[in-house]
Amino acid sequence: MHRLRYHITTQAPVIISAVSGDRNMVRTEQHIPGTAVLGLLAKQIIKEKALGKEAHQDDDFYAWFLRGKLQMGNAYILSRDEYGEHRHFPTPFSIEREKHGTAVYDSLLSETDETKYIGDYCQLDADSLQIQPVETRIEFHHQRKRETGVSEEGLIFNYESLTPEQIFEGEIRGLKSDLELLIKYTGNQWTAFLGRSRNAQYGTVEFRFLNNKPEEIPAPEINNAQQISMTLLSDLILYNEFGFPTVDVDDLEQELQKLLGKVQIEKAFVKKNEVENFIGVWRLKKPSESCFKAGSAFLLKLDSINTDKLKALQKNGLGERRHEGFGRVVFGWQNHPDLSLMEEAKPPITKPDFSPPQTIQDVVKSIIQNLLIERIKLQAANKQTEFVRLPSNSLIARLYSLADKCEGNQDSLCAEIKEFRKIAADQMRHCLSRDHNLMEFLEKENPVEEFLRQPREKNIKLLCQEINYAPESDVILKHKLINAYYTTFFSMMRKRKITEEKQNVRK
């Protein structure tokens, strides 16, 4: 088996969609998956051979991209220094740093306490570890109406993307004859498009093969040791005996026993991932599958050592969809319990000597207001706990409705309360805190003015300084804060009233 090594250089921001828990945030993977490389090369072959919609009928195309005769490897971040170029792989989950120190340990090979995962991507060379972060940035976008293309006011979503001018390296494995034919059709270098929103300002990359002809895959060096580490360099999709995806370590152990003979997994540091990708021809997503996440690490105990089998498994991969970049493993990569961390010197961040653009100022102002609203809601929730002898549920619900209706105008709220009949007013006077009753609190207190006079958190204060924003002078903000305070106050009070009544019934 031979290989072709390649570089993908981001010329514009690139979004390789990843699973995100925030519906207003599109997150990106921090590597280029083999599935994306497969699509990129398939598109180039269709273009160069003029295959059109009948590409699947071409023998080469069918063998390389549909049957899986070529194995597309993931592309990971590349760094450069005076010693050359260094490809970085997902850091094993067992490699951790002291929580309150700088020492780095590999928990796969030693017992450690009070440590945390070091993260990112790394180059691991014997007992030396170098961490390489991937640079990303976040862009703000207005949602647009499909019919008119006009931005919808107030509806904002965010794109996280890989920043331009980063290089990712990977390799394609296959027979020498197939790889020679592939490079003959595609050429050595071309501009391509990857990921999401390729019709906008995203996705432009340069694809380049590092040499003109395939090279043999170097034979891995694997020691004859009964204990050896196995590290996943890419996600591993494994099916159990019933044909379903599994992330059970016992199922993985059974699979290894089929391939290597008697083997036992003594330690495992595992994380689960969900993989799905978009198939352009189908215009649909491929069904999601659970898998072992890249960086998962295992300590194996072998009864009989067969280095040839280990080398074959490292060369060919493990599990399903290997031609898409899944199932890459390495043996013996982790072999030192104590590691020396070589941290990259990061250039200092310099602040521009001009004011932020108006769009940025508007976004920062919105962030400040949302933070202040959340803080005053918390104060309101705490404040209502000071009152005892709560009014009836119907009266609290009426107060909530008035507070919401008045839209932050406290004078209007007080005027409405003064019109209450004696029965309702008496209930409010009967509801007491240490300093006053509920009627006095609503008529005399101004929680917002007091809130805005309080010292602000450091991060909010710095944001205000950056855009010269004074929340205490913003009348619209004050109305929003009053509305948030009283609606939260009465909403939480009613929930507490209901809870107390249920507890009394049980007694």
- DSSP output for 306-329: -HHHHHHHHHH-SSB-GGGT---E
227-341 placed in CATH 2.60.40.4350? yes
Domain residue spans of the chain: 2-217, 227-341, 358-506
Give per-residue pLDDT as tens, 377-387: 988 888 888 99
**What local confidence, expressed as pLDDT, does residue 345 receive?**
47
User: Given a cut of 60, is residue 418 above it in pLDDT?
Assistant: yes
Tokens representing 371? 């933070």
User: Given a cut of 90, is residue 330 above it in pLDDT?
Assistant: yes
Count of positions (residues) in the chain: 507
CA distance 103 to 100: 9
| Mean pLDDT (whole number) for 64-75 | 91
How is residue 220 annotated by DSSP?
P
- Confidence band of 78 (pLDDT split at 50, 70, 90): very high
User: Given a cut of 90, is residue 197 above it in pLDDT?
Assistant: no
| Mean pLDDT (whole number) for 292-320 | 89
User: Given a cut of 80, is residue 507 above it in pLDDT?
Assistant: no
User: Given a cut of 80, is residue 24 above it in pLDDT?
Assistant: no
CA distance 368 to 215: 56
Give pTM, 2 decimals.
0.66
Give per-residue pLDDT as tens, 126-178: 888 888 889 988 777 655 555 554 445 545 667 888 999 999 999 999 999 99
Tell me whether strands 128-132 and 338-343 are parallel, antiparallel or unpaired. parallel
Sign of the Cα torsion 52, 58, 60, 63 reads positive
How is residue 11 annotated by DSSP?
S
User: Which one, of 290, 314, 270, lies nearest residue 108 by Cα?
Assistant: 270
| Mean pLDDT (whole number) for 102-131 | 84
Give per-residue pLDDT as tens, 243-264: 899 999 999 999 999 998 889 9
First to last CA, the chain: 76
Range from 167-181, 349-363, 487-501 carrying the lowest mean pLDDT: 349-363
